[in-house]
Structure 1
């Protein structure tokens, strides 16, 4: 509620320890401490005690969120003030353009280097995150995002996460070429396909690549020799990737010679291709994959092979079950699942697998429970717990069993 002058003067008379407790409570109730329109920043206007507290907490000054209505020198002064207060360690700037901000004003900002950030970058050795949110507009062609790329050559440690929607491979190429220190990149394309370029580009610092809803032909253009995490999400009805994209994904991993630590694939690849990609990943610790009954059995068998993914600690599998497939095939496939589970500790000496989650989608709960009873899943759970392996089984998101408790009571009957 709004404060009156009388109430503000009364607050300033409270003992210092009580003022500090009130300050902490109000600060932690704020949605985002970096937003200068929320607590604790607004509390600095109430009394000197709170103002001194804000000045003394250096980490508060290490990040700032600015909501922009138009270009003015005031925003630049705010950035410089944060820079001074943070002892030159400002590492996150979040610029959010209000919908009322004109496109002309936004363009003027980038032509000035994001409020003269080129000038500020000499004093921003720790800047790692720069998030720029621009409201959608019907006049997309009226704004040139190329102006934003220059910041990556002026802030040498700007390595934080970047989310980019691109139209062409050429546009992505120009961005990656300038963002040489970037370690995380999330890519999506406005159109379903984008042709590769003749001239390849190697990005040696990228550690994490996330691909959203796009064909993968553009991957032929790039090489990421130090990639540690690769996540691919294809939001299509049948979760399949075109054959050309399958080949490009396989080639990217081979060409980059990366030793992945985490691989997320939310699309069903042919079993032979997926196994080929995974076989060389001796450092892979976390794997999330989508399979269907057509390729699940071969993949489960591969996991029983000696030396296959020896460092794997966490495995999550989403299995797409088609109602037209016979229940006998469903049962036969899952006999391999339990063979796989036992093999991870019986055949693989020193197996590191500690977490396994199988989520069967589109199947009836009754069918899954029948399969669980038939293969004595409870016995496998008990053995797994004794060996430090946490196993979970879900059916279309409905919790069935896990390795830390007894059988769950589920209301659904299928």
Structure 2
């Protein structure tokens, strides 16, 4: 497979939006590990522009990347071992070193816990029990890594049993033409509006059926799409129409959210309409974004290698920074605008520091999701002239 830079840039952009989304979670009245003292209802409106597709897109792109890695490798066994090392090692490192601050902030700011962070680490976090309703130790935002590893192993087993070529032929037959857009969209509408109406993801792995029904098909789709010439042709033809449907669906979602804000019961049938519109918005946005990336972003750039490598370390550390900084800001009662500005600056700075330091320490690289030998990076003080060269 030739490298598709458009999908790389889409992955980078999706993770950047995810970080901004998690900062937004501090301000919406949906419940988060650390929240401002004065939640703002209207923040939910822009959040809903990306909420239905942000994670599904990441699983699609991860499936695409898995196909590229498998095609470059030496077989399914080596692929499974490589992916396990690249995913499980950072997951364990994150749960032991990166994550603990998050549940401690939640316990102390929302659940009445009075112990210090060091007491929490020594006596509670590794107790494999619930503390004030929180099961510890926790994966927190790293549930994504755990689910991705599980889906990757299921994919490897399926490929062994059924064979890669037969799977690709089946994908091309099922998702030919406009069906590439319509069939997954109808599935997401079915999942959100009929099979799991009102259900919320738990990220607890077992029993999280609404998440698995959404993200496992998205991951498998990305894997099949990576080897499908008909899939890229269909996306090129339909992505603009998908963008229109995504925008119209989002308008419907906003209208219902505005009429019945959070914590206000939504009467029948508007709750079902809301869920169906979210499903249509989610997959239509994914097709539109893939088509746009294929058309406009499929080119290299001097910063491509650095940003592609930085994505995983950024993801690993970002939520701990957000929760930790907000926990430190809460006693000062700052205006939400000041809180937001501080969170954005501190999160971006901490993510870059975590990555730039970690990439230079050989034994630390695998712990933060990097290969032992990384790419050649552009100069740290790149100017417009060096970027254009």
Q: TM-score, normalised by structure 1?
A: 0.21
Higher strand share: 1
Give 1 or 2 for the bigger CA radius of gyration.
1
